[in-house]
Structure 1
């Protein structure tokens, strides 16, 4: 099972758009869906432009009469949300472009006046109105380009079959220059085997070139839908920060529970046992000094074990080697304990912030633990490098693959930890071909 493309946090969930090969593009469903979308742009733009322009201009003209002008503008702006919903549905149906819904319209103050104020200040509605306004000139252009390109392709490809029809107009073929048969001069017609063949070759070129031009025009359409009809940038940022904060709180609470559990089941239990042994030794100090001495020796050994457990617990909270020597030394120490040979490469021009460094360390450590326990690999690698203002860490192995966060492999928990520092975690784990996990964190 492949889990490629699992990322955290997802800025915008989008359905991957299949890209047909160059040679299959003329017959692919994607090409014709995009063609239909570009053709319909003109009709959507015409209706939308009239709707927005006429009523908003009318509202502005009636603004002195408050009870008619501003409410009309507010109603038009809010109704543009409905147009946006239809356009998102059209983009999803014809171009496989899935865009999240913007935040719902909220009336900030009660009453009719509050609704009018909220409607006139609705940023999502105004962006929808701008989309409809721009769609008319853009729709004219895309309609013209789509119809012209496919018409030219069809005409040139079928020219050997349509050439005889020109004889009905007393012409040997399609005329490229001159004044026609009534005013002969420097007339040039596409006739003869050479020019007919050349025309067909032009049609073949257009057959494969047109889908690429259609794809480029559709890319502009996609950008308009995402930018004007999707959530506003700030609202997306607020949503992601809210999710990130919740993930940080959950991760901190989970770590606290783990530390409490380790202390309760480990060092605390040993110290309680130690106190009881020392109490018994104290009671036997006078009556049975040899037995008391043996109990003190056993208690001394228990103290050593408790200290070791506390030291391991402290190292688990924040290892000293990470603080003193950075990621390179810390990850090398973790790799040395892995049951699978691990090659570690760390190339960072400077140390990242402490929280990011700690998240990188624990994430890579847990991934190497997964490699040891679940992968069945005989080799693995860890590569940490800088990419602009971000850190990219890649943990790869040649094991059995098939890692899936939904099946309790521990990756889901790592995703929560990474989410807390605005990072992403991508898992590529096809069955039988190893696992590659890419961690991206801000510096």
Structure 2
């Protein structure tokens, strides 16, 4: 038999091109950032070089230093734009440096503060060194789009990692110290406001309380003096009433002095002072102070007034049957915890007393945490920085307590 003819087969399909890799939004944002590097760094480099050349070159003239100062302010503005670009495309969130503030008003203090502004000079350095890097990143990224497409994601991630380091290193606030200065400036304002409010309260209490009572007392004694010969019995009655007014005035002055800084706190420390405050609370309060040494006087005073205000809130608003106060030291923090079994619902919002207490603690690096579900119980925890107490010689005639009972 003759072999059967070969059955023709269909042509082999042409091989498919390799699939193009699909990258996510993050990669495309990084690619966009790298492609924008070149035009932006050219603008920044030209600005910085021109600013330095003109400003330093004319520094011997009247206009040279002001031009240089204006250029440094411009560097700050360019840096703000770069931080915004890094935030949107790289996800790098950096706080803006605090505004440059001269120590005093006037043109010369402003000029000097601007010329020595380290933030502006670091921004100038950023744009001065970025030109070769911008050329390199633009070239590699643009080529990767067409030549080495599968490697685009790795190249973009590697190059933007360096960009992130540059942005964080040169465009963020100087360091933790500068951020700390800004926080302390804000805290100082809070402290000043609270101190002014305390002074107004003391003045109001003196004017409306003890001072008014003493004025009335002086008038009563004057009338008693006039009646002393005419009507001794009436005069004696008026003197007796004046004696009662004196007792009330003295008690008001003691309460006012206790509100400023109680003597028992100075002489005997937190254990005795808080026990005294707890005794005046309308709710039975158990006090536990576990400290083997006394903190600095300022911290001790803040702790005292914090507990005092919290116990006043319990007396007025909680509807509690029992409460407790505990103080202890945890490493370099003084811990305060006040509990009650009242109605709960306390919070630090809405302009409450707890909001003001939170601000006071925050002004000294403290913290207030409120756990008060509706229906209770309420647990309020406060933290204060621990600072050791400076030792001072005891006052003659009185024993000074150097350590607290547990």
Alpha-carbon deviation of 1:116?
11
Aligned-partner Cα distance in 2 for 1:368–1:267: 25
> Which position in structure 2 is the counterpart of 1:281?
224
The answer to whether the Cα contact below 8 Å between 1:377 and 1:400 also exists between their aligned partners in 2 is yes
Supply the RMSD in Å over aligned alpha carbons. Answer: 4.9
The answer to whether the Cα contact below 8 Å between 1:402 and 1:432 also exists between their aligned partners in 2 is yes
Secondary structure at 1:405's aligned position in 2? coil
Secondary structure at 1:282's aligned position in 2? helix
Call closer, same or farther: CA 1:419–1:63 in 2, change over 3 Å: closer
Secondary structure at 1:385's aligned position in 2? strand
Could you report, residue by residue, the CA deviation over 1:357-416 in whole angstroms, capped at 9, with x for unpaired residues?
Answer: 111111111011112212233333323222333322222334333333342421232234
The answer to whether the Cα contact below 8 Å between 1:78 and 1:125 also exists between their aligned partners in 2 is no
Aligned-partner Cα distance in 1 for 2:377–2:340: 5
The answer to whether the Cα contact below 8 Å between 1:384 and 1:394 also exists between their aligned partners in 2 is yes
> Which position in structure 1 is the counterpart of 2:356?
413
> Which position in structure 2 is the counterpart of 1:202?
none
Alpha-carbon deviation of 1:237?
2.2
Q: How does 1:251-400 map to 2 (within 5 A)?
A: 251-400=194-343
Alpha-carbon deviation of 1:268?
1.4
> Which position in structure 1 is the counterpart of 2:96?
101
Secondary structure at 1:44's aligned position in 2? helix
Alpha-carbon deviation of 1:295?
1.4
Aligned-partner Cα distance in 2 for 1:62–1:278: 80
Call closer, same or farther: CA 1:117–1:352 in 2, change over 3 Å: closer
Could you report, residue by residue, the CA deviation over 1:138-178 in whole angstroms, capped at 9, with x for unpaired residues?
Answer: xx9xxx99979xxxxxxxxxxxxxxxxxxxxxxxxxxxxxx
> Which position in structure 1 is the counterpart of 2:384?
441
Could you report, residue by residue, the CA deviation over 1:285-333 in whole angstroms, capped at 9, with x for unpaired residues?
Answer: 1121111111111111211111111112112211111111111221122
The answer to whether the Cα contact below 8 Å between 1:81 and 1:125 also exists between their aligned partners in 2 is no
Unpaired stretches in structure 2, ≥5 consecutive residues: 1-23, 58-66, 142-149, 155-162, 388-406
Q: TM-score, normalising length from structure 1?
A: 0.59
Aligned-partner Cα distance in 1 for 2:183–2:244: 51
Q: How does 1:88-237 map to 2 (within 5 A)?
A: 88-90=87-89, 99-103=94-98, 122=120, 125=123, 230-233=172-175, 234-237=177-180
Higher mean alpha-carbon deviation, 398-407 vs 235-244, is at 398-407
Number of residue equivalences: 329
Aligned-partner Cα distance in 2 for 1:387–1:323: 23
Call closer, same or farther: CA 1:127–1:408 in 2, change over 3 Å: farther
Call closer, same or farther: CA 1:429–1:146 in 2, change over 3 Å: farther
Higher-Rg member (1/2):
2
Aligned-partner Cα distance in 2 for 1:38–1:259: 63
Call closer, same or farther: CA 1:367–1:286 in 2, change over 3 Å: same
Aligned-partner Cα distance in 1 for 2:101–2:262: 49
Unpaired stretches in structure 1, ≥5 consecutive residues: 1-34, 149-220
> Which position in structure 1 is the counterpart of 2:62?
none
Aligned-partner Cα distance in 2 for 1:281–1:61: 89
Aligned-partner Cα distance in 2 for 1:106–1:267: 45
Secondary structure at 1:367's aligned position in 2? helix
Could you report, residue by residue, the CA deviation over 1:25-55 in whole angstroms, capped at 9, with x for unpaired residues?
Answer: xxxxxxxxxx854774465356548965997
Call closer, same or farther: CA 1:115–1:354 in 2, change over 3 Å: closer
Alpha-carbon deviation of 1:231?
3.6
